[in-house]
Amino acid sequence: MTRRGLLLSLLLLPLISLLLPVPSAFAQTDPDAVTWAVGSDPSPVSGDPKWAPVVTLPDDSLVVWCDADSICMVISAVDPDETDSIEMSLVSGPIEYTPYTFGHEFTTTVCFWPDGAGVFEFIWQFEDRQAHVVIDTVVYTVELGAPPIIDDQQFFAELCDLREPRSLALAYAGNGTQLLFELLSGPGVIDPQTGVLTYQPDTSGVFVFEVVLDSECGSDTAVITDQLVLNLPPRCIGFDTAVYLCDPVEICFEILATDPEGDPIEISMLEGLGTFTQTSDTSGVTCFVPLDVDSARYIFIYRAADSCVLALDEEALSEPYCCLDTVKVDVIITRPGELSCPSDTTIELCVPPDQLPTQICLAGFSSTWSTTLISFGALSNDTLCFEADTLGAYALELIGSDTCGHADTCITWVTLEGNSVPYVTMPDDYDIDLCVPETVCFHATADDPKQPRLFE
C-alpha cells in the first residue's frame, strides 16, 4: 500500500467506525422488574496508561424495574491516539455480548432484560491496537417495581381546640426512588416525599382533599377526608338565690355542671366562703356559715373542667370561655322587731254618756315587726283609732311577731271620762209681801259632778 493510501485509510478509519452499526445485547427477563443504583470501580490498565483509552461507564445503580422493558447503559470511550481503534468486550456479565471494534472515540448503548430482582454485574474490557487494556465494572441492583397504590382514606379526630395544625400521615403502597405526592385540591400542603398532609382547620366539620401519588411505575389518586369534632367546654349551672334565716346557721346549696359531649366533669370552687364537695361527675354541694349580720351577699365562682380543660395551661385557663360561673347568695337574718306604745292616758269626753259610742284616736304607736296586730281598733301608720261605747278604761295592746317565732307586746291604757251637765239648786217657790220696793235675796247653789259647788 502506498503512503498516500495508508494515510487515506488512517483518515477514513474514524469516520468508518462512527458509521458502523452499534450492537446492543439483551437478556430476557420478567416484565415486572425494577430499576436503579450506581458506582464505578477504578479500572486496571495494562500498557502505557498515558495512551490507554479513557472509559466512561454508568455509575452503579439501584433500578426499580416497572414493566417488561430493557435496562440500558450508555458506555463511552476515547483513545488519545486519534488513529487508533478500541475493541469493547464483556469479560463477565449476565448477557451474551460479541466483541466489537470502534474508532478512537465512541458512545454505545447496551441493554439487557433482567430475569427478576437481583444484582447484575458487568465487567467490560476496552483494548486499543497498541495493547492498552482498560477493565471497568458497572453493577445494577434490580428491584421489582409496581404502580403505586393509595386508597381513599378517612380520618377522624375530636379536638380540644383548633390552635395546632393537623398532620395526616397517608397510607400508601409503592417503591422506587421517584415517589412523588401532590395535592390536587383541598387546604394546606402535602410533603412531596413523605406524603404527610398538613393544614390549619378553622372550624369543626369535614375537610376533603384530593391527592395523587406518582412513581416511575405509574400513578394513583385518592380522596382524603378528615372529620373534626371540636370538644366544647363544659359549663356550671348555679342559681342566684336569697336565703332567710332566724339565726346564723350553715347553708348548703347544689352546683350542677353539663358537658356537650357527656364527658365526666371536674368541678372546683375558685372563690367563695365555706367548702365545696363534688358529689358526682356533674354535681357538687357548697356549704358555708354566713356572718352574724342582718344581711349580706356572698359570691362564689366555680369552674367546670373536662379532659380538655384540665390539659390547658394557666394562660388558656384564664380565657373567658373557660367554663366559669358565678353564683350570688343573699342571706337575710331575721332579727326581733321593736314595738312602741304611747303612755297611758285619760281622755275627758265632752259628750254625755248617753251620746256614746264615739271614735277615739291615739297617736304614738310604732312597730318594726314583720307582722303587727292590735287588740282592737285600726292602726294606720302610728295612730290607733277605736270606737268607745262606754266610759271607763280600755287596754290597747300592740302585738309584734315574725316567722322565726319571735314576739313582743306593749299596752297603753286609755281611760275615758264623761262630762255631766252642771245643775243649779233653787229654793222652793214662795210669796213675799213688800211695803216698798227693796232688794229681795234667796239662797241658790250651782254644782258639777267633776267640780262641786261652782257657786252659792
Model confidence over 89-118: pLDDT tens digits? 999 999 999 999 999 999 999 999 888 888
Amino acid residing at 17: S
Nearest Cα residue to 327 out of 291, 289, 285: 285
Strand, helix or coil at 156?
strand
Alpha-carbon gap, residue 38 to 42, rounded angstroms: 14
Q: How confident is the model at residue 49 (pLDDT cuts 50, 70, 90)?
A: low
Which CATH number, 3.90.380, 1.10.10, 2.60.40, 3.30.1490, labels domain 235-333? 2.60.40
C-alpha separations of 37 from 124, 140, 142, 217, 378 in Å? 18, 6, 8, 16, 117
Q: Could you read off the pLDDT of 326-350 as tens digits, one per residue?
A: 999 999 998 888 999 999 999 887 7
Distance (Å, whole) CA 233 – CA 260: 7
Residue 19 DSSP SS3: helix
**Topology of 153-230 in CATH?**
Immunoglobulin-like (2.60.40)
Kindly report, residue by residue over 362-404, the tens digit of the pLDDT.
999 999 998 999 998 899 989 999 988 888 899 999 999 988 8
- Three-point CA angle 35, 41, 42, nearest 5°: 155
Helix (H) or strand (E) holding 132: none
pLDDT band at residue 279 using 50, 70 and 90 as cut-offs: very high
Strand pairing class (71-78; 205-215):
unpaired
Residue 136 has pLDDT above 70, yes or no: yes
Domain boundaries defined on the chain: 3-144, 153-230, 235-333, 336-456
pLDDT recorded at residue 260? 87
Does residue 144 or residue 104 have the better pLDDT? Answer: 104
Which run of H or of E encompasses 411? strand 407-417
Q: How confident is the model at residue 56 (pLDDT cuts 50, 70, 90)?
A: confident
**pTM as predicted:** 0.48
Average pLDDT rounded to a whole number, residues 27-55: 46
Residue 422 pLDDT level (bands cut at 50, 70, 90)? confident
- The domain covering 3-144 belongs, at the CATH homologous superfamily level, to Immunoglobulins (2.60.40.10)
Q: Cα torsion at 194, 117, 69, 175 (round to 10°)?
A: -10
pLDDT value at position 41? 38
Least Cα distance to 367 among 332, 342, 395 occurs for 342
Edge-to-edge order in the sheet of strand 345-348:
345-348, 407-417, 392-401, 371-374
Tell me the mean pLDDT in the region 237-245: 92
User: CB 127: neighbour CB atoms within 10 A?
Assistant: 21
- CA nearest neighbour of 123 among 79, 73, 86, 78: 73
Same fold, 3-144 and 336-456: yes
| Model confidence at 137: pLDDT above 60 | yes
**CATH classification of 336-456 is 3.30.565, yes or no?**
no
Residue 148 pLDDT exceeds 50: yes
Q: Rounded to an integer, what distance in angstroms lies between the CA atom of residue 251 and that of residue 246?
A: 12
* pLDDT of amino acid 27: 34
**Residue 366 CB neighbours (<10 A):** 17
- Residue 322 exposure: Cα atoms within 13 Å on the Cβ side: 19
Closest CA to 326 of 231, 233, 235: 235
* Mean pLDDT score across all residues of the chain: 82
Residue 304 pairs in a beta bridge with 267
Residue 26, C-alpha cell as written in the block = 439483551
Given a cut of 90, whether residue 22 has pLDDT beyond it is no
